[in-house]
Structure 1
Amino acid sequence: MKNIFKVLLLSLFIVGCESDDPSAGSTFNIYLDYWNTTGRNPEIRFNEQKSSKEIKIDFNQTFEGQAEGTLYSKVIIDNFKILDRDNNNYTIQNIKAYEYRGDNVWKEDVEFKVQYTQTTDVGEMVLVLDRSESLGTDFERIKQYAAEFVEQTFASHPEVKIGVVDFSAYPSSLPITNNKEVILNYIKNLEMENFTALYDAMDMGVDMLLRSASQSRILVTFTDGTDNFSRATLNDVLSKINSDKNLNKIRGFFIGLAGKGDLDTSVPTLLSSKGWIVSVPQSATQVKEVFNKFGRLISNVYHLTYVRNQKIIPRNTPIVLRFDIQATK
């Protein structure tokens, strides 16, 4: 019975190895109130209650109306993404704009233009990699998959900067850098040693990111075992992240290899409850797919521009705009 329960528990966290159907599209909505009291000062207000909860907008970036020339007004929504409750990140296929005309009638804005472009959500990242001897013959595979993840990230985001924290009894580190070859060589030359100081390594990775001024900071952790040598605790690590004054908190990704049964299952449980994206693959070969999926999850960030005329619209009677976004996982 205990073994059955353990398998069921671990299966809750396997998010990296399922088969996604790319043809299964969904529609998400953004609702805005829009007014333009002089024709030259367009303003917008986000309607969070009506908008799809999967829409995640970074309001620290541009979110406003702007006048353009003598004829046009623009609505700009910079840096938004679509994430569902399982942390699946969606790729936009099409966006249509509608204006509410009353009596539950929506008119598509065929005369006005809506455009979107994919931007980046990757600034600085730290890879925390277990190199304890419990990995055994799987170690070379893990290094290969981590290197491929680095290659994948640089291919989609050439401006990214990545650091590495590797650990056994004590953590060591490669400072955050944009030099891909330096990172790949560092990973290639890692060697296994005794013990597992997981929390000390995560703590070091968090410190590296806290020194970063980037608006996007990501911590990706891989381990196959239970911490048995750290001075820090997991709660110390989480408290340090939560106390960060930067509004854009460090985003956490965690891979816990469960194949040999050494993984402390309380770690992915706690991290998942704190909003981390967690995966517990059952074998080293599945880790490759998890790294691939994590690479997709940190992408797919968009910039939307909607252009219309400079018609005067009072603030007390704004029009309601709706953007229908067709997207796939």
Structure 2
Amino acid sequence: MKLFLKALLLSVVIFGCDSSEPDAGNAFQIYLDFWNTTGRNPEIRFDEIKTSKEIKIDFSQTFEGQTEGNQLTKVVIDNFKIVDNQNNNYNIGAIKAYEFRNNNWKEDVEFTMDFTQTQDVGVVVLVLDRSESLGNDFSKIKEYAMNFIDQTFTTHPEVKMGIVDFSTDVHTYPISNDREALKSYISNLKSDRFTALYQAMDEGVEMLLRYPAQSRILVTFTDGTDNMSDQNYYNVENILAKIKNDKNTNKIRGFFIGLEGKGGLETGLPSKLASSGWIVSIPTSATQVKDVFEKFGRLISNVYHLTYIRNQQVIPRTTPVKLRFDIQALR
């Protein structure tokens, strides 16, 4: 049974280093209950309390038990990543599966575990502030944005990108797979006086809504407070509502960089976005913005698909098998 839930911030579990528990360090766990009342109808239940909070699962994708052939069943988690509270995105090195038996966690070598890195980045729209409050830092921000484009295309050559740039006016560069043209457009941007942040974010959302893709990502950079948009139409509540009401099952994923610069960030905006599932970072210098763009580039890339295969043993719903997937990962 698929679970259509929002991505959750999950609790950390730290274990000792005996033979039945994961090693210390960059170790993360996913906990599930598994049952199969007829042998042909496997189901799973997510344990959000025990699962490591760094595990981010997209429950709008496949998250279910499945039957395979006449002898096997599968647990499939189609879209997840590992992100800590510093926005570090981890690369998975290995995954082991354990079942809780006789009051201990046991690895069953007869059951198999597989994971792959998915290529789910379809369309990215970059919303870029060019207001004059950036001052001499604007040239650095353009450089970091162009590096972000290079990073994204290098990791996902089939990706398409668009640009929304804003200050007094909002301009767009249409969604394209021409890496050099996108970089050239950013290189030629000129700063201007005011900050039409919400209008630009709204246009970025509209661009993604008009473009069918399995994965759509909005990355916004600003250093200021909106002082130009008509807020009867352009405001954070309307932007988030458009994303929520999108009929596409794969909702737009939001990333926000708010530089604490001369402009002063919109009060409450980062927390509103974060509470709606956006990945938010608030660097305090232009140099730190470079690191955040690089981290966000990794965040949209390190997405994984997990499959656990076991037999068709009948397991009552009232006494489900406890599963634990131990993940060893590197930043």
TM superposition score category, shorter chain reference: 0.7 to 0.9
> For residue 98 of structure 1, what is the aligned residue in structure 2?
98
**Offset of 1:228 from its aligned partner?**
2.1
Determine if contact 1:258/1:281 at 8 Å carries over to the other structure: yes
Secondary structure, aligned partner of 2:51:
coil
Following superposition of structure 1 onto structure 2, how do residues 151-230 of structure 1 map, counting pairs within 5 Å? 151-230=150-229
d(CA) in 2 for partners of 1:76, 1:128: 34
Identity %: 59
Q: After superposition, give the CA deviation of every residue in 1:8-33 in whole Å (9 maximum; x if it has no partner).
A: xxxxxxxxxxxxxxx94133123231
1:63 Cα shift? Answer: 3.4
2:56 aligns with: 56
SS at match of 1:220: strand
CA shift for structure 1 position 273: 4.1
Deviations 1:137-189 (A, max 9, x none): 22221111100001111111222221100112111101122222221121122
Q: Give the structure 2 partner of residue 325 of structure 1.
A: 327
What RMSD over aligned residues (CA atoms) do the two structures have, in Å? 2.7
Secondary structure in 2 aligned to 1:145? helix
CA distance in 2, matches of 1:49, 1:282: 33
CA distance in 1, matches of 2:284, 2:320: 54
In the alignment, what sits opposite 2:20? none
The 1:252/1:73 distance shift into structure 2, 3 A limit, reads closer
- What corresponds to 1:32 in structure 2? 33
Task: Please state whether the residue corresponding to 2:36 is helix, strand or coil.
Answer: strand
Which segments of 5 or more consecutive residues in structure 1 lack a partner in the other structure?
A: 1-22
Higher relative contact order (CA 8 A, sep 6+): 1
2:82: which partner in 1? 82
Structure 1 stretch displaced more, 291-300 or 228-237? 228-237
Q: What is the CA deviation profile of residues 176-211 of structure 1, one whole-angstrom value per residue up to 9, with x for unaligned ones?
A: 222222211211222223322111111111111122
Report Cα offsets for 1:204-225 as digits up to 9, x if no partner. 1111112233232221111223
Letter in 1 for 2:34: D
Contact 2:28 2:52 in 1 (8 A): no
Change (3 A) 1:314 1:130: closer
Give how far 1:75 is off: 3.0
Choose 57-66 or 282-291, whichever is displaced more.
57-66
Q: Is the 8 A contact 2:92 2:327 kept in 1?
A: yes
Map 1:135-150 onto structure 2 (within 5 A): 135-150=134-149
Q: Match of 1:3? A: none
Q: Tell me if the contact between 1:119 and 1:301 (Cα under 8 Å) persists in the aligned partners.
A: yes
- Give unpaired runs (5+ residues) of structure 2: 1-23
Any conservation in 2 of the 1:145–1:288 contact (CA below 8 Å)? yes
**Shift of residue 56, structure 1, vs aligned partner:** 3.3
Give the letter aligned to residue 29 of structure 2: F
Secondary structure of the 1:97 match is strand
Matched pairs, number: 303
Matched, 1:114 2:116: no
Structure 1 contact 42–74 (Cα < 8 Å) conserved: no
Deviations 1:80-128 (A, max 9, x none): 22344565433323211122323x1332112222111111342221111
- In structure 2, the residue matched to 1:4 is none
